[in-house]
Amino acid sequence: MMKVFAVLFSLLLLAVAPSFATGAVNVNSAQARALLAKNAKMVVLDVRTPEEYRQAHLKGSLLIPLGELGRRVQEVPRDRPVLVYCAVGARSQTAASFLSSKGYRDVYNMADGLVGWYRNGLPLQVGSSR
């Protein structure tokens, strides 16, 4: 019985280890909306291009394209949770992992991106608000 427990525990650790490695939590757009509703202080970080941002974005989001995040990371508050998104979740995963590696503790990656948000019929801001 103890051997079975040890094997199961080891498998569990292997399964969750990747999430500890990145430090970022993957959420889908519905979960992201719930997080935003629960925490008004959450920073919403858009890592797409300015052109993509102008087409549609989440209201109140901070635009820092992925290619600029390394030199602009200080613009992302460290004392608030951060929800990162892009179009489909690839760039935001990279950005979320980067933030975690820089010591950001409460980082969420919207894994289905703005496409998932739109497909779920959630509200978008159209045009530039900058």
Q: Which residues contact 40 (CB under 8 A, 6 or more apart)?
A: none
**Distance between CA 17 and CA 4 in Å, rounded?**
20
Partners of 82 in the beta sheet? 43, 107
CA distance to 4, 15, 26, 47, 71, per residue, from 85 (Å): 40, 24, 10, 6, 18
Q: Say whether 24 is catalytic.
A: no
The token pair at 98 is 């980067």
Out of 86, 87, 99, 114, which one is annotated catalytic?
86
Active site residues: 86
